[in-house]
C-alpha cells in the first residue's frame, strides 16, 4: 500500500498558503458548517495536526493512545479556544511541522502499526489527514473548490464515504471511467461525485435520480 505522505504535505502547503493571510475579521466569517467560522475550521486543522502528531509519535514508540484523551468534548473545547486565538496561525504551522517530522521518522513497516483512531493503522491516519485538509480548505471559502482536489484524493473520498450511498445506487465518474457499486447510476466527474458524497457543493452537474445520502461514517467504539 502506498501511503500518501507527499500528497498530504502538498495539501498542507496549499492550506497554509491560502489561509495564512486571513485577518481576524475574515476568520470570524461563518462557514457552511453549522456554528463554525473560518477560525473554527482553521483551528480544527491546526489542532488536528498536533493530535495526529501525538498519536504518530506514540505509535512509533509502540504505544496506543487516543487522538483526544478527553474525547469529543476535549476536541470541541480546543477548537472553540483556538478559533479566535491570536496565535492560531502559529499553532497551524507548529502542528503541521510536528506531524510531518513524525511521519519522516516512520519506516515502511511502521504504517501497519495499530492505532486507536477508527481501530485502524497508522497509514489510515495519513489518509484521514489528506481528506480533512482538502475538504476543510474548501470549507474555508478562500477560493479553493472541489475542482482543485487531486483526482486521486477525490477517488479516495468516494471509497471512504461509500457507506453514505444507499444500496441500489451506482456512481459513475464520467472523466476517469471509474465505477462504484451497481444500480441506478449517478454520474459526474470524479471530483464532483466526491464533493457530492462529502456533502459539499459540486462545481459541475451530478446527474441521476434524487438520492438521500446516509450519515457520515461514525467513529467506531475503540477496541484497543
Angstrom distance (rounded) from CA 88 to CA 65? 25
What predicted TM-score, i.e. pTM, was given to this entire model?
Answer: 0.97
Indicate left, alpha or beta for 13 from its phi (over 0: left) and psi (-120 to 50: alpha): alpha
Regarding whether 155 and 134 lie in a shared domain, the answer is no
Q: Is residue 181 part of a domain?
A: yes
Angstrom distance (rounded) from CA 118 to CA 21? 34
Q: Show the DSSP H helices in the chain as ranges.
A: 5-19, 24-27, 38-60, 71-83, 88-104, 122-139, 151-160, 190-197
The SS3 of residue 5 is helix
Q: What is the CATH number of the domain that holds 177?
A: 3.30.1050.20
Determine contact, residues 157/199, Cβ cutoff 8 Å. Answer: no
Regarding whether 181 and 78 lie in a shared domain, the answer is no
The SS3 of residue 180 is strand
Regarding whether 135 and 24 lie in a shared domain, the answer is yes
Residue 54: which domain range? 5-144
Q: Is residue 170 part of a domain?
A: yes
Regarding whether 52 and 95 lie in a shared domain, the answer is yes
Regarding whether 186 and 75 lie in a shared domain, the answer is no
Regarding whether 155 and 123 lie in a shared domain, the answer is no
Digit-by-digit pLDDT tens for the chain (224 residues) are 799 999 999 999 999 999 999 999 999 999 999 999 999 999 999 999 999 999 999 999 999 999 999 999 999 999 999 999 999 999 999 999 999 999 999 999 999 999 999 999 999 999 999 999 999 999 999 999 999 999 999 999 999 999 999 999 999 999 999 999 999 999 999 999 999 999 999 999 999 999 999 999 999 999 99
What the block records as the C-alpha cell of 197 is 458524497
The total domain count for the chain is 2
Q: What is the CATH number of the domain that holds 78?
A: 1.20.120.450
Amino acid at each position: 500500500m502506498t501511503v500518501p505522505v507527499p500528497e498530504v504535505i502538498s495539501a498542507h502547503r496549499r492550506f497554509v498558503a491560502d489561509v495564512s493571510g486571513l485577518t481576524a475579521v475574515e476568520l470570524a466569517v461563518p462557514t457552511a458548517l453549522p456554528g463554525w467560522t473560518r477560525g473554527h475550521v482553521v483551528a480544527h486543522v491546526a489542532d488536528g495536526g498536533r493530535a495526529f502528531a501525538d498519536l504518530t509519535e506514540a505509535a512509533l514508540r509502540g504505544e496506543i493512545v487516543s487522538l483526544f484523551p478527553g474525547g469529543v468534548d476535549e476536541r470541541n473545547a480546543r477548537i472553540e479556544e483556538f478559533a479566535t486565538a491570536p496565535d492560531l496561525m502559529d499553532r497551524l504551522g507548529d502542528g503541521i511541522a510536528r506531524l510531518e517530522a513524525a511521519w519522516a521518522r516512520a519506516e515502511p513497516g511502521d504504517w501497519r502499526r495499530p492505532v486507536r483512531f477508527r481501530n485502524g493503522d497508522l497509514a489510515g491516519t495519513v489518509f484521514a489527514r489528506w481528506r480533512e485538509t482538502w475538504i476543510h480548505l474548501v470549507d474555508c471559502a478562500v477560493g479553493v473548490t472541489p475542482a482543485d482536489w487531486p483526482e486521486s484524493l477525490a477517488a479516495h473520498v468516494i471509497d471512504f464515504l461509500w457507506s453514505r450511498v444507499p444500496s441500489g445506487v451506482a456512481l459513475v465518474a464520467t472523466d476517469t471511467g471509474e465505477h462504484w457499486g451497481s444500480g441506478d447510476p449517478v454520474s459526474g466527474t470524479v471530483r464532483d461525485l466526491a464533493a457530492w458524497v462529502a456533502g459539499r457543493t459540486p462545481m459541475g452537474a451530478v446527474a441521476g435520480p434524487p438520492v438521500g445520502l446516509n450519515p457520515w461514517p461514525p467513529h467506531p467504539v475503540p477496541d484497543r
